[in-house]
Amino acid sequence: RHLIFLGAPGAGKGTQAQRLAQYLGLPHVSTGDMLRASVQSGSDIGRRAAAVMDSGALVSDDIIVGIVAERLTLEDAVAGVIFDGFPRTVYQAHALDQLLQDSGGVISAVLHIALDDEEIVVRLSGRRVCSGCGAIYHERYHPSLVTAVCDQCGGSLVQREDDQPDVIRKRLAVYQAETAPLIAYYHDRPAYHQIDGHGEADEVFARIVEAVREKD
């Protein structure tokens, strides 16, 4: 049983996926995190992906489907995973359906977090992430943490390369063109839920838990 988070950049997918992973005891599979780890390690994929990511465009479907297929073969993925940032194109959604058909897996929830563009820009321009463990912070909502360090691992908090205003605008445009069509792709499935992304992270999480519970 696999869960998918869908939504614009900055809608809160990563924040909520980290929580839900803990709550359900399933691995959090973020293609963005995996790509950033590849960039850090200087691997072949990382070298090919770095410039694309910094520009706000999407990495090629072949690379993404390859890393996801490989991730799903790991032992901890057998009970299901929480996808964050994947699928992101109709091609990727088809590829996932195919992979699951072959392995007998199902998509038990598609959680589409909806948030308006103005709030998205506020959230992305103030985002800080832990360079050690990937925990997600925001300068406005966690003011004491901006100059300090991660309260989970002590790592330093940094701004993502792609959280510059011009790149944020590009990412939102790419989302509308490439990823928003996935809403129609999943909309008529019973697993689909639209979640209101406004309000405190705790409130949003409560909405998600309610949606996921309905399915059990």
Q: Are 63 and 48 in contact (CB under 8 A)?
A: yes
Q: How many residues bind ligand AP5 (CB under 6 A)?
A: 36
The identity of residue 129, as a single letter, is V
Binding track over 45-84 against ligand AP5, x by CB under 6 A: -------xx--xxxx----x--------------------
Instruction: Pick one of Zn ion, ligand AP5, none as the site partner of residue 201 (Cβ within 5 to 8 A by kind).
Output: ligand AP5
Q: Known catalytic residue: 160?
A: yes
Distance CA 77, CA 60 (A): 23
Distance CA 44, CA 49 (A): 9
Q: Does 32 bind ligand AP5 (CB under 6 A)?
A: yes
Q: Are 155 and 149 in contact (CB under 8 A)?
A: yes
- Choosing from 3, 4, 6, 14, the residue that interacts with ligand AP5 (CB under 6 A) is 14
Instruction: Pick one of Zn ion, ligand AP5, none as the site partner of residue 130 (Cβ within 5 to 8 A by kind).
Output: Zn ion
Q: Does 85 bind ligand AP5 (CB under 6 A)?
A: yes
Catalytic: which of 1, 71, 160, 170? 160
Q: Is 208 annotated as a binding residue?
A: no
The helix/strand count (H/E) of the chain reads as 9, 8
- The smaller minimum CB distance to ligand AP5, of residues 34 and 105, is found at 34
- Choosing from 137, 150, 157, 207, the residue that interacts with ligand AP5 (CB under 6 A) is 137
Residue nearest to ligand AP5 (CB): 32
Residues 171-190 that bind ligand AP5 (CB under 6 A): 171
How many residues are given for the chain? Answer: 216
Grouping H, G, I as helix, E, B as strand and the rest as coil, residue 86 is coil
Specify the residue for token string 């998205």: 120
132 class by beta-carbon count within 10 Å (0-12 exposed, 13-18 middle, 19+ buried): middle
Instruction: Pick one of ligand AP5, Zn ion, none as the site partner of residue 143 (Cβ within 5 to 8 A by kind).
Output: none
Q: Known catalytic residue: 170?
A: no
Instruction: Pick one of Zn ion, ligand AP5, none as the site partner of residue 12 (Cβ within 5 to 8 A by kind).
Output: ligand AP5
Grouping H, G, I as helix, E, B as strand and the rest as coil, residue 9 is coil
Residue (of 125, 122, 128, 164) closest to 143 by Cα position: 128
Residues in binding site for AMP:
31, 36, 57-59, 85-88, 92, 160, 171
